[in-house]
């Protein structure tokens, strides 16, 4: 069965975005981008909230047409454009770029999606992740900690009514100082 993997970059002081959705502090160099391309290229689909989808759709569809863009950026443009996407939104009427709009997160539907053949499903968007966490639908967390203090912004993990116990599965340090912390849901908790 496929897994639901929540992926998030955070600053060292715990923000996933700065004021006005600023992401300019992220240290995504060629090494990190190649890493993203390798594992995201093998995914079976992206599960995004409306905001994440709109940010991605605004930037990625034609980035591979820019000859000045780095090779990893051009490669990811194709990965993003071609990857099946489910966009969870109550306001978006339609979505392009191989995307279907779904109004609500229904656990039985997510379980059916996980049972389909293909690679793992990558969850993006803090608001959507909050719902998936509350419904206990996330199998793995990939948190990329960037060695940057931004002082203000938005935290990816709001308060929860219950503890979510995780088990560290892997770490990786990139030359930029970004550290990947890969956690699995702790089945013993």
Instruction: Give the start-to-end residue ranges of the domains of the chain.
Output: 4-185
Average pLDDT for runs of 10 along the chain of length 189: 94 85 82 93 94 85 86 90 92 85 94 95 90 91 95 76 84 97 80
Cβ neighbours, 10 Å, residue 30: 13
The pLDDT of residue 37: 93
The pLDDT of residue 15: 86
Cα 120 vs. chain centroid, distance in angstroms? 12
Task: Give CA–CA dist 74/68, Å, rounded.
Answer: 9
Task: Give CA–CA dist 187/184, Å, rounded.
Answer: 9
Bridge-based pairing state of the strands 99-102 and 85-88: parallel
The pLDDT of residue 161: 55
Q: Which residues pair with 9 in a beta bridge?
A: 144
Residues 6+ apart with CB under 8 A from 137: 4, 105, 107, 110
Cβ neighbours, 10 Å, residue 11: 20
User: In the 8-state DSSP scheme, what is residue 83?
Assistant: S
Contact 120, 3 (CB under 8 A): yes
Q: What architecture is the 4-185 domain classified under in CATH?
A: 3-Layer(aba) Sandwich (3.40)
C-alpha distances in Å from residue 25, one per residue of 10, 41, 61, 134, 150 = 10, 24, 23, 29, 8
Cβ neighbours, 10 Å, residue 137: 20
The pLDDT of residue 156: 76
User: In the 8-state DSSP scheme, what is residue 104?
Assistant: S
């Amino acid at each position: 069965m496929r897994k639901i993997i929540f992926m998030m970059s955070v600053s060292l002081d715990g923000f996933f975005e700065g004021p006005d959705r600023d992401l300019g502090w992220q240290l995504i160099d060629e090494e990190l981008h190649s890493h993203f391309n390798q594992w995201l290229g093998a995914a079976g689909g992206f599960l995004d909230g409306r905001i994440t989808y709109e940010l991605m759709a605004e930037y990625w569809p034609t980035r591979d047409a820019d000859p000045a863009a780095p090779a990893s950026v051009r490669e990811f443009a194709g990965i993003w454009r071609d990857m099946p996407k489910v966009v969870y939104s109550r306001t978006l009427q339609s979505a392009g770029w191989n995307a279907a709009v779904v109004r609500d997160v229904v656990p039985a539907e997510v379980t059916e999606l996980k049972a389909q053949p293909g690679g793992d499903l990558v969850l993006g968007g803090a608001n959507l992740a909050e719902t998936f966490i509350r419904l206990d639908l996330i199998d793995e967390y990939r948190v990329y900690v960037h060695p940057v203090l931004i002082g203000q912004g938005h935290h990816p993990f709001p308060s929860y009514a219950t503890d979510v116990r995780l088990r560290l599965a892997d770490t990786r340090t990139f030359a930029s100082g970004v550290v990947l912390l890969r956690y699995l849901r702790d089945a013993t908790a």
